[in-house]
Structure 1
Amino acid sequence: MREWKFNHIDFSVYPFYEKDDLGVFWAPEKTLVKIWAPTAKIVEFRLYKDGATGEPFHKTQLQAGSNGTWSTVLLGDYDGKFYTFRINDGEWLEETPDIYTRCVGINGLRGMIYNPKKTNPENWENDSSPKLPHYTDAVIYETHVRDFSIAENSGIQSKGKFLGFTEEDTKTTGGITTGLSHLKDLGITHVHLLPVYDFFTVDEEKPVEKYNWGYDPLHYNALEGSYSSNPSDGTVRIKEFKKLVQALHTNGIGVVLDVVYNHTYFAKESVFNQTVPGYFYRQKPDGTFSNASGCGNEIASERKMARKYIIDSLKYWAQEFHIDGFRFDLMGIYDLDTMNKIQEELKKINPGIILYGEGWAADQSPMPEELRAVKFNTPKLPGIASFNDDFRDAIKGNHGNKKSKGFVSGLDLREESIKFGIVGATYHPQIVYDYVEPSRRAWATEPVQCINYASCHDNYTLWDKLKLSQPKASDEELRKMVKLAGALVLTSQGIPFLHSGIEFARSKGGNGNSYKSPDAINQIDWDKKVEYLEVFEYFKNLIQLRKNHPAFRIPSAEQVRKSLTFFSEYHPGTIAYSIDGKLLGDSWEKIVLLFNGTKTEKRVQLPQGKFEIIANWYSINENGLGEVENEVMVEGISFMLLKNSEQ
């Protein structure tokens, strides 16, 4: 019986292999096979005609090579055949694909040998990523492949599939745009997709019977089959995902992938442990697997071949699929050197690639926090952003406590934390950081290192959180809270991030952790867009406002400090500040933003001169909604934006 404890092993002495030829690579006349398995004594390669059943029609042993590698060459054309490895390191491990496998059959049981060129859609060679001058120009929209189109009212034919993102001009029965047309109309710049790699918990032969977000990794370089029209043929999922990317790129929208290298679904049974036992995971002092992910294991990103694997995988996605960015789940587990090397390598492929992640872990790690990519180490991660959970909780209340309130739901004394989000988690001399909860200090060097958001797939939707914390609030009051939250996120410095459906009051029926709940809970109900169309229009106009005016997307912290000034007069539950647009090259020389989180109308003194109202709680119109001078009344639960009038 194998002992899965590793405190007697010094993994640092394992050999490093630096070349980029690990995996199984097809050519018409031969297939090249190479894996890294330094502890192996025998490596057996098995070929199959089917991706799930039947006995192997061919077995061969790989030959040991340099630096822990094993390889062989199969003469002939093996396109469409399936394969596995079995390794003996003194005893036989389980049969699995290789850790680099890029194409798999049903449920990832076997790898698939394939011709990559056959997976390219027509005109793929001309596909290109949208370009933005600054990261702060991005507006990111997070969604789940299945949620996006699975509802009956989506008007989308390829429901729950990659191809659902490629359909043009889809509508509800009431004629309201959905899907890709909705994204274009809303005006977002990037779609952030929850995991699309091959994950374990959904049976690809019965894809609608179970639901999962996909944070249970099986194969990091292969795509999830339940999102394809034919999960038995691994090349279909590749081609259909490329069509998704191509459709979004054609419409000027970038694609960000949610990546979860921090842990695997299986520990002992994972492809990593069935290849090189123990190496890819951190251990506790007693040799058992440590668990900073809260899922039973955590990646040892600091080990050379683990770091190489992560970087190789990300480069593959960026090069083969033209991916525009990556979001790192539990980024606080990764070591700083690995994250910085990731940034360095990916920028060589795409200088505009967006990288961001959760600056925390889910549990204790044996690696000291000062060496990991946690939020407070963001200054050590140039070009990489962290989620601003301080701002999130200040806006709506503590994410885990359904009764807690935030600024938009009427809780006073959250003003400093809101101001912290407004300046993109950077240092500003007018913020009293002792009152910024829970951080108490700036953690971003530049606004490009801050992802501002009010909600995401985790926890309650914004609508549900507000409804639970304010059960007596009217529908109109809840709408105003959602709009106020949207105004805070979309006019603040940093990179704004929207949870899909926030723009029309998405609800999950009060479910606070829907990772495996059915479609009835998770699906985007497009009829909500009909019901809350004015909320959608408000978000759409906020996004356009942000795009039109550089004052809301300042790229440097020094410019923020020079141009953004908070009003000195304090009113509990309100925030007022101005931006010097002239300094920033904005067409508006002076801009005033007012936020009132209370239910009471507030009188605010304005700077000298006449101002044109551009936005109030109900409407946004750059042509103006009326002129004021000296002071203005700001309605309860509302946002107001003004610009200096033409003299």
Structure 2
Amino acid sequence: MKMGTNYLAILGVTTVTTVMSCTTAKKEYMSYELYPVRTGNLIEMEYTPEATKFILWSPTADEVRLMLYEAGEGGHAYETVKMQPGEEGTWSAVVNKDLIGKFYTFNVKIDDKWKGDTPGINARAVGVNGRRAAIIDWQSTNPDGWESDIRPPLKSAADMIIYEMHYRDFSVDSTSGVKHKGKYLALTEHGTMNSDKLLTGIDHLIELGVTHVHLLPSFDYASVDETKLNENSYNWGYDPQNYNVPDGSYATDPYQPATRVKEFKQMVQALHKAGIRVIMDVVYNHTFNTDESNFERTVPGYFYRQKEDKSLANGSGCGNETASERPMMRKFMVESVLYWIKEYHVDGFRFDLMGIHDIETMNEIRKAVNMIDPTICIYGEGWAAEAPQYPADSLAMKGNIAQIPEVAVFSDELRDGLCGPVGDKHKGAFLAGIPGEEMSVKFGIAGAIEHPQVHCDSVNYTKKPWAKQPVQMISYVSCHDGLCLVDRLKASMPSITPEQLIRLDKLAQTVVFTSQGIPFIYAGEEIMRDKQGIDNSYKSPDAVNAIDWRRKTTNGDVFIYYKRLIDLRKSHPAFRMGDAALVRKHLEFLPVEGSNLIAFRLKDHANGDPWEEIIVAFNSRPTPAKLAVPLGKYTVVCKDGVIDTRGLGIQNGPEVIIPGQSALILYK
């Protein structure tokens, strides 16, 4: 979201859903829970060359009409068709002619008022800016070999390494060497380099070693005008318009409905061939606008929660919040997720402000996805921007995540324990050498599970472990929302030197990648991107958001460190046990003297690791620290900002030295 908020502000609030009576000349329903539910799927258009059938769920409508257009924008409808009422609140019409290449909208009349044109709630192809749905030849949207496209193997969620990126950020800069800058196709181009012949684009991702790319919203969103792309329009995309269509601004031609569909598939196919899975950022919690939204123009009031005074609830902080608990909204969300999996071969979903959705809906989504492939990941933000209009104990908040198996949430405990409170960018924490957040960091290292050495009364945002399994926790220090890591360190440590910045950057990510949660990094962190100190860059220009690929040259040492850190995690199952019982058995925090020093060992060939015992220590002090360790001969693999699994020397117990502002990893 473009407005980050800590979930604690709303977790304790208990509310009840308020329903609003809806009376029309056609139907009268005393509450939204009594609206009929459409059985089968929610497809609104079924095409054949001989005839096309249209069906719309609008149970409170007096009349519904279908408009047919020659183009995706401009002009008037060349034909208007009156739709007929049917069962379960639906309206239907059949046009007995070949409509391939045509466009259409619906218009619903309620209480003698036409609500306005809409492509429906379930359009799957649209014209420019998404105001009209399109009828296309779907076979033409499949790239060569699409039928044999398969998702890369994934043994366990603990093996995931997530890389969050925005299409424009990743490829639009002139230094990227990418031809299709800011487009889906940017992620299909191999052989791209910066001016020093260092890899960029998809080859950079392969070189780095990530397993999953998390794409910021890719559905059709409203805040960028697709007719004016030459004006350098930018947005993160958290402004939903059509949930089941790729956005046209990332396509080479937003006017041709099939182009965005095919190019999105080409991107997924290319990433799969590179061994990388694709995660979509989905924003079912609110829509860009309300009165003009597809939901409101189809069934007024139903898809949104209301307060007691009948005004719109606003858990999203964006003007409305959707009502996931209502049967047709729940059905819509489940079908939408399944559609992206089946049609586009998407491998995972990140739910924006997941705390707005109810627990039952998230469990229904997880259950439906598991029937296709249980390795498809689901995670989200376990909070909301404001208190949702629904009982807090029934929402998919971080504190309730134990009730949603196989769904993960971000750990702001670890993030802010390392960097400082997200609401005060000038206040640091462990990385800044400020004592008091060590237990919050330990909480994250253990994966937010119950652990005998993690005392939650000293953890920053929670007083009890909330994860049943460590893979329910996303480990991270920064993302698109808030300051990126480099800017955060600079803001909280104004006098930081370039050398200290590099040391602390490496230290932060070493904590992330040796924690038992699922590691997550923000695109460009591996080459120390910054965003000029802007923490809410959702509509800032490319000059702020674009990754400068010259940084891969100037910060090559940092990139190598990240790459080797990822390889270390992949090579050693002790860092990704994926099971709470194993973590409690094998992860032991070591006693330390003083503050700003954390150490733990992974003992007894943890999770079948070839290394008998691994010692990991984090020292955020500017000076070296001493650490007592069990007797033995240890091989050093990480020290002073350098990682080499072949060995960096030998240290013997019972005491080792950890250089200042760095991590030490050794094994025997």
TM-score band w.r.t. shorter chain: over 0.9
The alpha carbon displacement at 1:584 in A equals: 1.5
Is it true that 1:119 corresponds to 2:131 in the alignment? no
SS at match of 1:87: strand
Match of residue 65 from structure 1: 86
C-alpha contact (below 8 Å) 1:301/1:335 kept by paired residues: yes
Give 1:512 deviation, angstroms: 1.1
For 1:21 and 1:565, the matched residues in 2 are separated by 51
Alignment of 1:133-148 (within 5 A): 133-148=155-170
Does the CA contact (< 8 Å) of 2:574 and 2:605 recur in 1?
Answer: no
- In the alignment, residue 196 of structure 1 is paired with which amino acid? S
* Aligned pair partner of 1:323 in 326, 341, 346: 346
Match of 2:240 among 205, 209, 217: 217
- Structure 1 residue 497 corresponds to structure 2 residue 510: no
Distance (whole Å) between structure 2 residues aligned to residue 542 and residue 417 of structure 1? 22
Deviation at 1:27, TM superposition (A): 2.1
Distance 2:581 2:548 in 1: 43
In 2: Cα distance, 1:207 partner to 1:598 partner: 48
Question: 1: CA distance between counterparts of 2:346 and 2:32?
Answer: 33
Q: After superposition, what is the alpha-carbon deviation per residue over 1:163-200, rounded to whole angstroms, capped at 9, x for unaligned?
A: 00000010011211111010000000000000010111
Work out the CA distance in 1 between the residues paired with 2:431 and 2:448.
19
The one of 576, 591, 602 aligned to 1:553: 576
* CA distance in structure 2 between the partners assigned to 1:583 and 1:483 by the alignment: 24
Structure 2 SS opposite 1:349 = coil
Q: Is the 8 A contact 2:19 2:32 kept in 1?
A: no
**2:101 pairs with 1:80:** yes
Q: Tell me how far apart the structure 2 counterparts of residues 583 and 311 of structure 1 sit (CA, whole Å).
A: 38
Q: Give the Cα separation in 2 of the matches to 1:121 and 1:22.
A: 24
Q: Could you list the runs of 4 or more consecutive aligned residues of structure 1 that deviate by over 4 angstroms after TM superposition?
A: none
Matched, 1:243 2:256: no
Residue 433 of structure 1: how far off its partner (Å) = 1.1
Normalising by structure 1, we get a TM-score of: 0.98
Which position in structure 2 is the counterpart of 1:480?
503
Asked if the contact 2:21/2:32 (under 8 Å) is kept, the reply is no
In structure 2, the residue matched to 1:424 is 447
Change (3 A) 1:511 1:583: closer
Correspondence for 1:89? 110
Could you say what secondary structure the match of 1:146 adopts? Answer: helix
Q: Is the 1:45–1:61 contact (alpha carbons within 8 Å) kept by the matching residues of 2?
A: yes
Tell me which of 144, 165, 170 is aligned to 2:187: 165
User: Retained in 2: the 8 A contact 1:6–1:278?
Assistant: no
Whether the aligned pair in 2 keeps the contact of 1:483 and 1:617 (CA below 8 Å) is no
Assess if the C-alpha contact under 8 Å between 1:26 and 1:115 holds in 2: no
- The aligned residue for residue 569 of structure 1 is 592
Give me the whole-angstrom Cα distance separating, in 1, the residues matched to 2:507 and 2:521: 14
How far apart are 1:603 and its partner, in Å? 1.0
1:27 and 1:115 in contact (8 A); partners too: no
The whole-number CA distance in structure 2 between the counterparts of 1:619 and 1:458 is 29
Bigger mean CA deviation after superposition, 492-501 or 617-626: 617-626
| Distance in 1 (alpha carbons) for counterparts of 2:206 and 2:434 | 35
Question: In the TM superposition, what whole-angstrom CA distance separates every residue of 1:544-587 from its partner, at most 9, and x where no partner exists?
Answer: 00000100101110100000001123431001110025242111
| Contact 2:217–2:236, Cα closer than 8 Å, also in 1 | yes
Name the aligned partner's letter for residue 236 of structure 1: T
2:38 maps to 1:43:
no
1:530-609 equivalent positions in 2, closer than 5 A: 530-609=553-632
Q: Deviations over 1:214-249 (max 9, x none)?
A: 001111011110100100011100000000000000
Aligned-residue RMSD, C-alpha: 1.1
**In 2: Cα distance, 1:537 partner to 1:171 partner:** 16
Post-superposition Cα deviations, 1:55-83, rounded to whole Å, max 9, x if no partner, equal 11111111111100111222222111111
User: Is residue 379–residue 443 contact of structure 1 (8 Å, CA) maintained in 2?
Assistant: yes
Corresponding residue for residue 7 of structure 1: 20
- The Cα shift of 1:258 comes to 0.2
Residue of structure 1 equivalent to 2:255: 232
2:470, 2:580 within 8 Å by CA — same for their partners in 1? yes
Equivalent in the alignment of 1:193: 215
Gaps of 5+ in 1: none
Contact 2:378 2:406 survives alignment (8 Å):
yes
1:41 aligned partner, one-letter code: D
2:12 is aligned to none
| Aligned mates of 1:421, 1:635 — CA distance in 2 | 23
AA matched with 1:643: Y
User: Within 1, Cα distance between the matches of 2:495 and 2:329?
Assistant: 52
Deviation of 1:606 (Å) = 1.6
* Mapping for residues 142-541 of structure 1, pairs under 5 Å: 142-209=164-231, 210-541=233-564
Whether the 8 Å contact between 1:327 and 1:357 is mirrored in structure 2 is yes
Provide, for residues 566-613 of structure 1, a one-character-per-residue CA deviation record: whole Å limited to 9, x for no partner: 112343100111002524211101100010011111011121111000
Contact 2:42 2:122 in 1 (8 A): no
**Relative contact order, CA 8 A, sep 6+: which one is greater?**
2
- Between the aligned partners of 1:13 and 1:20, the Cα distance in structure 2 is 19
CA distance in 2, matches of 1:24, 1:505: 48
* Maintained 8 Å contact 2:162/2:210: yes
Q: Contact (CA 8 Å) 1:96, 1:274: kept in 2 or not?
A: yes
Contact persistence 2:574–2:606 (CA under 8 A): no
Give the SS at the match of 2:342: helix
Q: Is contact 2:42–2:332 with CA below 8 Å preserved after alignment?
A: no
The equivalent of 2:40 in structure 1 is 19
The residue type equivalent to 1:139 in the other structure is: I
Q: Give the Cα–Cα distance (whole angstroms) in 1 for the partners of residues 51 and 621 of structure 2.
A: 70
Q: Which amino acid aligns with 1:28?
A: P
Question: 2:432 and 2:322 mapped to 1: Cα distance?
Answer: 39
Measured against aligned partners, the alpha-carbon deviations of 1:117-172 in whole angstroms (never above 9, x if no partner) come to: 11000000010111211101000000001111100110000001000000001001
Contact 1:576 / 1:594 at 8 angstroms: preserved in 2?
yes
CA contact (8 A) 1:484 1:617 kept: no
Judge conservation of contact 1:162–1:244 (CA < 8 Å) in 2. yes
- Distance in 1 between the 2:303 and 2:601 partners? 51
Partner of 1:99: 121
Cα deviation for residue 208 of structure 1 reads 4.2
- Mapped to 2, the partners of 1:620 and 1:175 lie a distance apart of 24
* C-alpha distance after superposition, 1:276-318 (max 9, x if no partner): 0000000000111100000000000000001001111111001
Give the letter aligned to residue 421 of structure 1: G
Q: What's 1:640 paired with?
A: 664
| Cα distance between partner residues in 2 of 1:352 and 1:264 | 29
Q: Secondary structure of 2:632's match? A: strand
**Alignment partners' CA distance in 2, 1:21 and 1:85:** 15
Would you say how many aligned residue pairs link Structure 1 and Structure 2? 640
How many Å separate the matches in 2 of 1:22 and 1:63?
A: 17
What is the alpha-carbon distance in structure 2 between the residues aligned to residue 632 and residue 409 of structure 1? 23
Alpha-carbon deviation of 1:350? 1.8
AA aligned to 2:270 is A
Q: Which runs of 5+ in 2 are unaligned?
A: 1-17, 23-30
* Aligned residue identity for 2:192: T
The amino acid across from 1:203 in the alignment is D
Q: Give the Cα–Cα distance (whole angstroms) in 2 for the partners of residues 365 and 560 of structure 1.
A: 35
Q: 1:63 to 1:139 in 2, by over 3 A?
A: same
How many angstroms does 1:8 deviate by?
Answer: 3.1
SS in 1 for 2:336: helix
Query: Which amino acid letter does the alignment assign opposite residue 634 of structure 1?
Result: I
Identity across aligned pairs (percent)? 46
Structure 1 counterpart SS, 2:570: helix
Which residue pairs with 2:5 in the alignment?
none
The residue type paired with residue 406 of structure 1 is A
Secondary structure at 2:500 match in 1: helix
SS in 2 for 1:603: strand
